Amino acid sequence: MVILISGASHTGKTLLAKKLVKRHSYACISQDLLKMGLIRSGNTDITAYDTERLRPYLWNITAEIVKTAIENDQDLIVEGCYIPANYRDKFEKKYLEQIKFICLAMSENFLRKHFDEVCAHSDDAERRTDDAPDLEKLVQCNNYFISRCKECGANYLLIDDEYKVDWDIQ
């Protein structure tokens, strides 16, 4: 089984992945770690801030890792904002049967009410030295993920009232 956890920045993808790793003992790959490994090793000229080039570049690599894990009957969690809502397009049916996808997204209402709390938790999963949240960008990014999930018929967990993210394998 492979679990894909996608969503906007600061929604708790890494924290959810960590919970699932503890609960199910799956291996886990963070697309942010993969990204920085590729950049620091000189295997790409893409920078950490070149999102439009990063998204397809990282997704192509990630999709092949997912296929390899499934072919070798390995349980894996992949988390990151570069997993697209149309993830199904990369996989044949035999792979899709082994993939669970969830996208975490915060509603505009939640972000406007709880922005200070979101900022206070921005370093919970990883150190963010130069990634201070910007309310309007977060609203825009979360709305983008929600709309893409709706367009593609992909599962998403809308964080609207309070932050309760405890999705599990079903």
Residue type, 78: V
Residues above pLDDT 70, as percent of the chain: 92
* Domains contained in the chain, CATH given: 2-159 (3.40.50.300)
Residue type, 91: F
The residues with which 6 forms a beta bridge, in sequence order, are 103
Burial of residue 45, with CB atoms counted within 10 A of its CB: 0-12 exposed, 13-18 middle, 19 or more buried: exposed
> Which H or E run contains 19?
helix 13-24
- In this predicted structure, what is the pLDDT of residue 55? 92
- In this predicted structure, what is the pLDDT of residue 8? 92
- Phi first, then psi: give them for residue 71, nearest 5 degrees: -60, -30
In whole angstroms, what is the distance from residue 118 CA to residue 50 CA?
24
pLDDT digits (tens, 9 = 90+) for 89-148: 999 999 999 999 999 999 999 999 999 888 887 766 556 555 667 899 999 999 999 999
